[in-house]
Amino acid sequence: MVANAVVPAVFVFGDSTADVGTNNYIKDTKAKANFPQNGIDFPGSVPTGRFSNGFNSADFLAQQMGFNSSPPPFFTLMKGKLGLHKHDVLRGVNFASGGSGLLDATGKGPFVLYLLGARKFGIISIPPIGCCPSHRIFNDTSAGGCLEGLNEYSRLFFLSIGTLLQQLSSELKDMKYSLGNTYDMVSFLLNNPLPISKEVRSACCGSGKFNGEDKCNPTAQLCPNRDEYLFWDLHHPTQAAAQLAVLTLYEGGPEFVAPINFKELVEAN
């Protein structure tokens, strides 16, 4: 996993946008990505449990920090062992799981991690979820516009998490953080189509209207020009979109990531 890492370890917490195979080990979840289409652009063209046609945001962030890819999922380290080996954990672990959500107590997570020794936190906010193909299908207009009511929740979350992080950083010595404004990042792509986002309404892999009526599964329709799509499936970005997002998080300006970008966070003393 390690190439020329500039940080000692990376620990990933999140949902399906950062899941690198956790849900492969959870029998009772319907949130699965171990189908042939998922991973079609991953090395070896194999499904890994990523909700993507290739690498996802956790992979690209880890690569920016000198690793080959995201740290492995927690259950991979547990498989066949009575417990985790210390040297495995210290290289990093990915705890992200498709279908996971936020609780009122989630905000305590950074504080708990701080007590365990974490000092640098890279936080990615929620994109305009009302613009996902899965929600566009419920817009009554023929153009399939975004559901702005849902987008308002995304905007409010960004403001809330920003306030929380400012408070924590003022209270906790040596804590540093970067907060990525994914809402504005995706909104920019929606309003300024780039080569990787020629198609911003429909998913590359799915079925029905905008390919947003069912998840990417063995019977789903698959687009041939995957690098021109913003959305891979009804909820998740393509590999190309995830890579662009990470490049913005890592080296972008304060309009997209603040108070410092992820590169400055990594290099901070």
Output the CA torsion 219→245→249→110 (10° steps): -20
As a whole number, mean pLDDT of residues 242-257 equals: 97
**Same domain? 146 vs 32:** no
The predicted structure's pLDDT at residue 186: 96
101: left (phi over 0), alpha (psi -120 to 50) or beta: beta
Judged by average pLDDT, the poorest of 13-17, 82-86, 239-243 is 82-86
164 found inside a domain:
yes
**Same domain? 82 vs 176:** no
Rg of the chain over all Cα atoms, to the nearest angstrom: 18
Choice between 159 and 140, residue whose per-residue pLDDT is larger: 159
Print the domain residue range for 162.
Answer: 123-268
1 found inside a domain:
no
Mean pLDDT of all residues belonging to the chain: 91
Q: What whole-number percentage of the chain has pLDDT above 90?
A: 81
User: Which residues are within 8 A (CB) of 166 and not within 5 positions of it... i.e. 6 or more apart?
Assistant: none
106 found inside a domain:
no
b/e 172-202 (16+ beta carbons within 10 angstroms → b): eeebbbbbbbbbbbbbebbeeeeebbebbbb
At residue 116, what are phi and psi to the nearest 5 degrees?
-85, -5
250 found inside a domain:
yes
129 found inside a domain:
yes
Q: Which helix (H) or strand (E) holds 238?
A: none
Choice between 76 and 47, residue whose per-residue pLDDT is larger: 47
**Same domain? 85 vs 181:** no
Q: Which helix (H) or strand (E) holds 231?
A: strand 229-231
Total tally of structural domains belonging to the chain: 2
**Same domain? 89 vs 142:** no
The predicted structure's pLDDT at residue 250: 98
**Same domain? 25 vs 133:** no
Examine the pLDDT at 183 and tell me if it is beyond 90: yes
Q: Could you say which of 101, 136, 151 is where a domain stops? A: 101
Choice between 143 and 185, residue whose per-residue pLDDT is larger: 185
Degrees, nearest 5: CA angle 8-253-60 = 40
Residue with tokens 């290099």: 267
The predicted structure's pLDDT at residue 88: 65
Q: Could you say which of 101, 135, 158 is where a domain stops? A: 101
**Same domain? 57 vs 92:** yes
- Could you give the angle at which helices 182-191 and 239-251 cross, rounded to 10 degrees? 120
The predicted structure's pLDDT at residue 83: 53
The predicted structure's pLDDT at residue 105: 73
Q: What pLDDT band is residue 226 in, cutting at 50, 70 and 90?
A: very high
110 found inside a domain:
no
**Same domain? 141 vs 90:** no
112 found inside a domain:
no
**Same domain? 157 vs 228:** yes
Cβ of 105: how many Cβ atoms within 10 Å? 8
Q: How far apart are CA 262 and CA 251, in angstroms?
A: 7
pLDDT digits (tens, 9 = 90+) for 76-105: 877 645 455 555 677 899 999 999 988 777
As a whole number, mean pLDDT of residues 134-154 equals: 91
The predicted structure's pLDDT at residue 147: 96
Q: Could you say which of 101, 134, 164 is where a domain stops? A: 101
**Same domain? 137 vs 260:** yes
**Three-state DSSP class for 150?**
helix
60 found inside a domain:
yes
**Same domain? 175 vs 211:** yes
